[in-house]
Structure 1
Amino acid sequence: MSDENPLHLFDLTGKVALVTGATRGLGRAIAAGLARAGAHVVVAGRSKETAEKVAAELAADGTRTSALELDVTRPEQARRALVRTAGQHGSLDILVNNAGVIERHPAEAYPADAWHKVIDTNVNGTFFLTQEAGSLMLTQGHGRIVNIASVLAYSGGRNVVAYAASKGALVQVTRALAAEWAGRGVHVNAIAAGYFATDLTQDLRDDTTRSQALLSRVPAGRFGRPEELIGAVIFFASPAADYVHGALLEVDGGWTAA
């Protein structure tokens, strides 16, 4: 047995990581965590100014960050952004697909434009960005892709039919890509995130009745904190997960276990 400190398995020093939707909520926490683990983190967001602001704030802790304007629903922009990022930094080692939207409407009255907005962002945008990133990584011979899915990939939820459908699709995209790319050096895995205290759940948390009903089903009895997702992302992005492909890890306070 090696006497080497196993913590080195989680060291991301020298790696380049791009995190989508990184200007707030889970994305910002993930970006900060990857940076503290040693990676150069590219903070990607639809607003260039906001991405630059967040990157500067994270860099104030002494970490290495940069900003990137990126709208995942615009494939050509995404392709150029990825090529530029890889060119500037010499590689693209890690992609965290965190960008996502949710629209709440009763299923029988779900607007077509709301459906398309959710699917275009959470499924189409994520896939085409991953396709571009995967092509770069396959050429390099290595890479880590982490998709942020949801426990709603398992349970339907109310008034979120498009979101539930999109996260279920993302899980299957993860598995299909892992089956194709595992033998070529590219790892694709996903996290089924539970209910976290972010702006996406603000309305839910503000509704005392709905919030209490939800938390009664969560064994941990509370909403997750964004920083509690960091460990799972670092695991998938690091050498600790060298033999992990197509996995779905629940980080949900026990929701799926109950």
Structure 2
Amino acid sequence: MNKQSYDFTGKVAIITGSTKGLGYGMAMLLAKNGADVVVNSRHNDDCEKVAEELRKIGRKVLAFSADVSKREQVEKMIDKTVECFGRIDILVNNAGVGITKSSFDVTEKEWDEVINIDLKGVFFTSQLAGRVMAKQKSGNIINIASLGGVISSAKLVPYMAAKSGVIHMTKGLAVEWSKYNIRVNAVAPGYVPTPMTEPILKDEKSYKILTGLTPMRRLGEVEEIANVVMFLASDYSKYITGETIIADGGRHTL
């Protein structure tokens, strides 16, 4: 039996939206376990700040600001990654946005922003990185979906539409790209305190409702979601593809 490991030494990982929240936690955890990292967000200063943190723990890091809803910007990021590292082993499609708003009031601009970042961005980042992985005959793509792609909530329709699309896209890409030895999986987190969820969680009533709906009676932690990503990125999960792991403290079971 082959020995498995969480040692990512020599592996190159791109994590979109990795300067804060879940993406930051994922970048730190993969780097601490040996991966060289491409740090991404739409803001260069934020990318450079996180990149410097990762360099201090001994990793090679590329800071690259790109809007994942703009295919040409993603293409430049992929090309620069290959130029710097020569390969791409892991892609975590984490960048995302959401709005909490009555469906009667959602504007076309708001709809387009959520769909373009949360769904279109995941597809084209996967496509461009996947082409590199196909040439390598190896690769690992992990899409960050959401509990909102599994169960329904009020006032989150654009976000839920995008995230449910990510879950089904994950299955389709897994089937299509398995012949290239590319695994494609997803993680669907429940509520975790991050800058994105802060507007909801800072309301005491909302916080009590959300924890009350969760069998474990608490919210998740960034590290707990990052650990699932690390598992999917590792050889411990090498017979898993097309899967979505729900990490929500059991809320979807109710």
What range is the shorter-chain TM-score in?
over 0.9
1:135 equivalent in structure 2: 131
Asked if structure 2 preserves the Cα contact closer than 8 Å seen for 1:137 and 1:143, the reply is yes
> Are residues 1:31 and 2:34 paired?
no
Asked if structure 1 preserves the Cα contact closer than 8 Å seen for 2:62 and 2:81, the reply is no
2:14 equivalent in structure 1: 18
2:241 equivalent in structure 1: 245
> Are residues 1:57 and 2:67 paired?
no
Q: 2:221 aligns with which of 221, 225, 232?
A: 225
Q: 1:166 aligns with which of 145, 154, 162?
A: 162
Counterpart code for 2:113:
K
Gaps of 5+ in 2: none
Q: Deviations over 1:42-66 (max 9, x none)?
A: 1111111110111112322333333
Q: Deviations over 1:172-199 (max 9, x none)?
A: 1100000101122101000011100101
1:46 equivalent in structure 2: 42
Asked if structure 2 preserves the Cα contact closer than 8 Å seen for 1:107 and 1:161, the reply is yes
Structural mapping, 1:43-192, within 5 Å: 43-192=39-188
> What secondary structure does 1:162 align onto?
helix
Structure 1 segments (4+ residues) deviating >2 Å = 58-66
Q: What TM-score results when the alignment is normalised by the length of structure 1?
A: 0.95
Asked if structure 2 preserves the Cα contact closer than 8 Å seen for 1:103 and 1:163, the reply is yes
Deviation at 1:95? 0.3
1:212 equivalent in structure 2: 208
Asked if structure 2 preserves the Cα contact closer than 8 Å seen for 1:35 and 1:65, the reply is no
Counterpart code for 2:63:
A
Counterpart code for 2:167:
V
- Partner Cα distance (2:69, 2:150) in 1: 25
Gaps of 5+ in 1: none
**Aligned-residue CA RMSD (Å):** 1.2
Counterpart code for 1:71:
D
Give the percent of matched residue pairs that are identical in Structure 1 and Structure 2.
37
Counterpart code for 1:180:
E
Q: What TM-score results when the alignment is normalised by the length of structure 2?
A: 0.96
Deviation at 1:206? 1.2
- Partner Cα distance (2:235, 2:5) in 1: 5
- Partner Cα distance (1:79, 1:62) in 2: 27
- Partner Cα distance (2:239, 2:50) in 1: 33
> What secondary structure does 1:104 align onto?
coil
Alignment: residue pair count: 254
Asked if structure 2 preserves the Cα contact closer than 8 Å seen for 1:42 and 1:67, the reply is yes
Deviation at 1:20? 0.2
Deviation at 1:205? 1.2
